[in-house]
Amino acid sequence: MADTFNGENLFGSSGYRVEGQGLKVDRHEFGFPGDDGSFLVNHGVRQRRYRIVGVLEAVSVESLAAGIRAIEEYIADGGEYTLVDSLGQSYPSVVLLDFVPKGPRELTTAGTWRLEYEVPFVQLDPFA
């Protein structure tokens, strides 16, 4: 099933894209007095960072607010869920971090409400 988060169509039917932002690697850098240069110890990969960029669209401003609230409930929950994007790629162990509106709510000429947004998230198992 495409376009789902925890089995729900959470990010709307107006389309979104998943953009990779790279791995978070835990490192420790240190040096010694009198020695030039530094040492870097790699403590392992912690997570892979992404963001969802899309548009929520709804028939009323109340429905739009309900869509935002549904996303924010997962952010507040902090649990791990599976995201399946529009291409069918599955991202297990996903935790949503924030909901960021990208501009004001707009009333379209078709009479629907829309809001561009961004949702940063992490995949806790970066090689899943």
- Model confidence over 41-75: pLDDT tens digits? 888 888 999 999 999 999 999 999 999 999 999 99
pLDDT digits (tens, 9 = 90+) for 15-49: 788 999 888 888 889 899 998 999 888 888 889 99
> For position 83, which CATH number holds?
2.40.30
Predicted local confidence at residue 1, as pLDDT: 47
pTM, full prediction: 0.83
pLDDT confidence tier of residue 94, bands split at 50, 70 and 90: very high
Give the separation between CA 88 and CA 18, rounded to whole angstroms.
12
Q: Is-contact 118 51, C-beta < 8 A?
A: yes
Instruction: Reply yes or no on whether the pLDDT at 102 is more than 50.
Output: yes
Residue 66 belongs to a domain: yes
- Whether residue 34 is contained in a domain is answered as no
Decide if 87 contacts 2 (C-beta within 8 A). yes
Report yes or no on 10 lying in a domain.
yes
What are the residues whose beta carbons fall under 8 Å from the beta carbon of 34, sequence distance 6 or more? Answer: none
Q: What's the CA gap between 48 and 23, in Å, rounded?
A: 4
Measured between alpha carbons, how far apart are the two ends of the chain, in Å? 18
What's the total number of domains in the chain? 1
Residue 36 lies in a domain: no
